Structure 1
Amino acid sequence: MSNFSTTQKISKQLVTSRGGIVAAQHRTAAEVGAAILAAGGDAIDAAIATSFAVGVVEPWMSGPAGGGAMVIWREAEKKAYTLFFGMRSPKALDPNDYPLDGSGRSSDLFPWKTVADDRNVQGATAIAVPGTVAGMELAHQRFAKLSWKALLQPAAALAQKGMLVDWYGSMLIASAARDLAKDADCAAQFLDDGTWPIMSGWTASEKRRLNQKTLAATLERLADKGPRDFYEGDIAAAMVGDVQAKGGCLSLDDLATYRAELRDTIEVPYRGGVVHAAQGLTAGPNIAECFAMMEGAFTPGDAPDGVSYGEMAKALNATYQRRLREMGDCDAPHAPSCTTHFSVVDRDGNMVAVTQTLLSIFGSKVMSPSTGLMMNNGIMWFDPEPGKPNSLAADKGCLMNICPVIGKTADGRQFAVGASGGRKILPAVLNLSSFIADFGMDLEEAFHQPRIDCSGSGKITADEDLAPEVIAALSDIAPTSTTKRTILPFDFACPSAVMRCNGINSGMTEPVSPWADAAIEPVA
């Protein structure tokens, strides 16, 4: 039961072109990436530019002070790579500074036992060592064509102008206003009078923009001085000074010694094709397990049915049991996350799937006032109880839910896909990959096909638009509830994807997301 109209239908059109395409959770960021393609950049150039731009226009989702991973397909080499830039706990972190308070379970992403004053969830004590800039640095060094400065200038220009606050932005700010008010710098950025969410007026003439000029100056310096300034220069010193002044233990040594890693992918044969999943502390190993289980479990028919959805649910249940037991991740299925995903394909067939995050919405709810950067709360990824696979410790990598993949079907179509949405990411990516590889769907068909979520709770959430016989089949496997796809919460994650078939590229984003869009490379 819900309050929503049963007759309203929300849809998006497939974007196609012989030129490159960027599909992102914010239209402006996608357009920045598409413009880089038009200026002679390749898919990596566009991904780097989009990464910094999206951190400006949806600053609660990701940014330079976050982390993530990408999967890259290099068409000339016929080779895929994982580029991992996940966050780490600071070297000076002391687990004893995060005592359990015995009051119950955390209300944020992960149902860990609560820590005194939520020190692992919010505030400077929740900040981990960021990796996003190092990830883009390594991508630029290995694969990019254009200069570092050229790729960061669009983001700096967007920050100088300031993010436009529309109804959707106002809604997301309002969702975290109580916590944002606890940090004076966040309050000044996002709230009126330190209390009320900044909102545009009722008419088109009353548009509001965030004041992001400090962030603009940081991005301009980063563009001029290069990525190491974030880890070893003035930006690093300012950021560390701000975090330590607010009680965190992030140090200059943490930043100076951080490096992103370039690795092979997990290569999974599937239905005569192949899927390349991310290595490292991601959900890549889990989606690989799901594909292996599903391939032998059913023979695809003309369209998804109770059998295919059921076997997908069984695979997700099995892999999540292992993930939660052995990998230590245990996050709540309906809490908001502040991850973003974008996918890129260029005219030569190179592809990139990038997922980056601050973890919770608005991260630690702490801003570095000297840099204008929203800081992550990566420490929350760790279980505060000792003796667990993912227990909190110093200088330790964070286990993330992100799951960017690049695949090729038996008929030769190539696709790059990923999503935001915490523990819902893996099910969303698996749903879409199955629709494409098992049933021959294009991106428009796949993104409008009803999805299921099955992410470790022992229950199944099904789109209410699924046929009754499918829901009945799912109910035979596990307790099943139905819900409508809406903008808040994203019960089925928020994906973005691109595809290439016979030299024609296409792009698609989550239909119910009001900001997400696919942008085409302008062609003269």
Structure 2
Amino acid sequence: MSSKDNFSDSQVVRKPVTLTERGVVASQHKRAAQVGAAILAEGGDAVDAAVATSFALGVVEPWMSGCAAGGCMVLWRAKEKRAYVVNYGMRSPRELDPRDYPLSGAGKNADMFPWEAVVDDRNVQGATAVAVPGVVSGMGLAHERFGRKPWHELVEPAARLAQEGLAVDWYFGLLTASNAKALSRDPDAAAMFLDEGTWPIVGTWTGGSNRHLDQKQLARTLQAIAGGGPRAFYEGDIAKALVKDVRAKGGCLNEEDLATYTAEWHEPLALPYRGGHVYAAPGLTGGPTFGHALRALSETMQASGRAPDAQSYAAVARALHAAFEVRLSDMGDSNESPEAPGCTTHFSVVDSEGNMCAVTQTLLSIFGSRVVSPSTGLMLNNGIMWFDPVQGGPNSLAPNKRVLANYCPVVGIAQDGRQFAFGASGGRKILGAVLQLSSFVLDHGMSLEEAFHAPRIDVSGGGQVTADARLPEEVLEALGRVMPVATARRGVFPYSFACPAGVMRIGRSNGGCTETMSPWGDAAIG
């Protein structure tokens, strides 16, 4: 371990996994996991808990997700022994004109994707970056088919959280401070997240601030969705207010965009592996690239039942490199590795019957477009940044078009009957994390706790391996024979690796775990 930085070399952080026959929710925020777990305890199934957790995360991680986000859910239905996929990715507005996003000639933009920079960063920040959101439609579609509990009972807990307001703590202060300049440009974002519209809201050195975010307008929006159902977001007063706010700030979202948006059911990719299957989302997600990497791994990885060795990590690096070569040439991304981790959240659910959900949703950048809709209290996405502003490519900016996203929720069924639901946040880093967690379980027989604490690598298209600095020298040397290696710590901020959350079922016992370095992430038992 290099001693050139300021951090402790002896500190150890662990998150133990408790097994239970009850249901479990593993989420990037403890309070959202508790909301979902309470639904399980009240007789709800995994989909009910997923709906409740999704809406709660929009309150306690408003810079990561919310009603203005998009995403994807992979479900496993135990009695049917069948997987399903709900895709609720964003779309570009119908009135969008690519000519309104001229290139500035200033090189690459500084956010997640190395596209050519656009004048005034119109595709990155501000209402001109807002795409049509899908979360509410996706939750509604899943609930309509598989939910047990009434819709309003699943959304009302989030409304109560918003009425209370998110507690301000040091992690909140860290995230807002790192984005204060961008947030200050929108008066409504500044009023919500910053002190005097300028400074991050932080506590004192010796204690907390006892302050809470004012999310009362968001609470009213959630109450309306709870009472009116999913379509209340896309039609009627909420839709009118949202469109009015976006257009007043220069965006082109219209009421038809919302009224015609629908989430979609898809057949999952069924990927055979080691006598079992891993199920992933098809289409414009990370699923096809995950499938490519998993197939490559099946040909080069020797299942050992032991902790991964140097050859194992090298096989993962090769598989990810090959998969990203295909993704970057055929699906329209760019062959440079982004530095920003993205504004994404993931949670996984298992209920007492063995039904499972792996759910990833995102605003794209952290704080999305850095714009708040004052009439709804929603932080708005910047989904337009997913598109390449240079015309003529497979992912070029165009009106009424689905975005190409990196999220990769999966459900796995091992040959020995163990089941898991995994996913992560972290942009392109997601794929490698989900692949390695799956391999740790399927190739090396790791428990959930062992898998989440094991060192990982990242290979996501930049011609380099980023390796956990805890890995032994022989692993680093083996990786160096694949491609250049840089080591990084697994820390709280910024994340050098993805931030996963997952659940596992063994027999009738369930457990959950989240990224060990995530200060808010936790698993809750229902």
Tell me the TM-score range normalised by the shorter chain.
over 0.9
| Structure 1 counterpart of 2:519, one-letter code | P
Shift of 1:502: 1.0
Structure 1: give runs of 5+ residues left out of the alignment: none
Structure 1: how far apart are the matches of 2:211 and 2:325? 46
1:260 alignment counterpart: 263
2:464 alignment counterpart: 459
Which residue of 235, 258, 268 maps to 1:232? 235
Secondary structure of the corresponding residue to residue 495 of structure 1? strand
2:46 matches 1:52: no
Which residue of 486, 494, 502 maps to 1:489? 494
Which residue of 106, 122, 133 maps to 1:130? 133
Contact 1:108 1:332 in 2 (8 A): no
Secondary structure of the corresponding residue to residue 268 of structure 1? strand
Which residue of 302, 317, 323 maps to 1:319? 323
2:371 alignment counterpart: 366
Contact 2:169 2:209 in 1 (8 A): no
Q: Deviations over 1:169-192 (max 9, x none)?
A: 110011110000000000000011
Secondary structure of the corresponding residue to residue 483 of structure 2? coil
2:413 alignment counterpart: 408
Structure 2: how far apart are the matches of 1:23 and 1:426? 19
Number of residue equivalences: 521
Structure 2: how far apart are the matches of 1:334 and 1:76? 42
Q: How does 1:46-445 map to 2 (within 5 A)?
A: 46-204=49-207, 206-301=209-304, 302-330=306-334, 332-445=337-450
Shift of 1:84: 0.2
Structure 2: how far apart are the matches of 1:44 and 1:205? 35
| Structure 2 counterpart of 1:210, one-letter code | L
Contact 1:201 1:207 in 2 (8 A): no
| Structure 2 counterpart of 1:373, one-letter code | L
| Structure 1 counterpart of 2:317, one-letter code | A
Structure 2: how far apart are the matches of 1:145 and 1:389? 41
Structure 1: how far apart are the matches of 2:307 and 2:23? 30
Bigger drift between 273-282 and 211-220 goes to: 273-282
| Structure 1 counterpart of 2:399, one-letter code | A
Structure 1: how far apart are the matches of 2:147 and 2:397? 36
Secondary structure of the corresponding residue to residue 380 of structure 1? helix
| Structure 1 counterpart of 2:161, one-letter code | L
| Structure 2 counterpart of 1:187, one-letter code | A
Secondary structure of the corresponding residue to residue 208 of structure 1? coil
Structure 2: how far apart are the matches of 1:205 and 1:89? 41
When residues 162 and 472 of structure 1 are mapped into structure 2, their CA distance, relative to the original with a 3 A threshold, is same
Contact 1:15 1:508 in 2 (8 A): no
* Backbone CA RMSD of aligned residues: 0.9
Percent identical among aligned pairs is 60
Secondary structure of the corresponding residue to residue 56 of structure 1? helix
Structure 1: how far apart are the matches of 2:247 and 2:41? 42
Structure 1: how far apart are the matches of 2:423 and 2:281? 11
Shift of 1:298: 2.6
Structure 1: how far apart are the matches of 2:370 and 2:73? 25
Secondary structure of the corresponding residue to residue 209 of structure 1? coil
Structure 2: how far apart are the matches of 1:307 and 1:203? 47
2:476 matches 1:471: yes
Q: Could you state the TM-score of these two structures normalised by the residue count of structure 1?
A: 0.98
1:514 alignment counterpart: 519
Q: Deviations over 1:232-266 (max 9, x none)?
A: 11100000000000000000000010000011100
| Structure 2 counterpart of 1:14, one-letter code | V
| Structure 1 counterpart of 2:196, one-letter code | D
Secondary structure of the corresponding residue to residue 45 of structure 1? helix
2:452 alignment counterpart: 447
| Structure 1 counterpart of 2:368, one-letter code | G
When residues 400 and 117 of structure 1 are mapped into structure 2, their CA distance, relative to the original with a 3 A threshold, is same
Shift of 1:205: 6.1
Secondary structure of the corresponding residue to residue 19 of structure 2? strand
Contact 1:339 1:356 in 2 (8 A): yes
Structure 2: how far apart are the matches of 1:350 and 1:131? 23
Q: Could you state the TM-score of these two structures normalised by the residue count of structure 2?
A: 0.98
| Structure 1 counterpart of 2:280, one-letter code | A
1:34 alignment counterpart: 37
Shift of 1:410: 1.5
Shift of 1:203: 4.4
Contact 1:286 1:320 in 2 (8 A): yes
| Structure 1 counterpart of 2:259, one-letter code | A
Contact 2:169 2:208 in 1 (8 A): no
Shift of 1:206: 3.0
Shift of 1:207: 1.4
| Structure 2 counterpart of 1:440, one-letter code | G
Structure 2: how far apart are the matches of 1:429 and 1:6? 27
Structure 2: how far apart are the matches of 1:202 and 1:305? 43
Secondary structure of the corresponding residue to residue 123 of structure 2? coil
Contact 1:334 1:489 in 2 (8 A): no
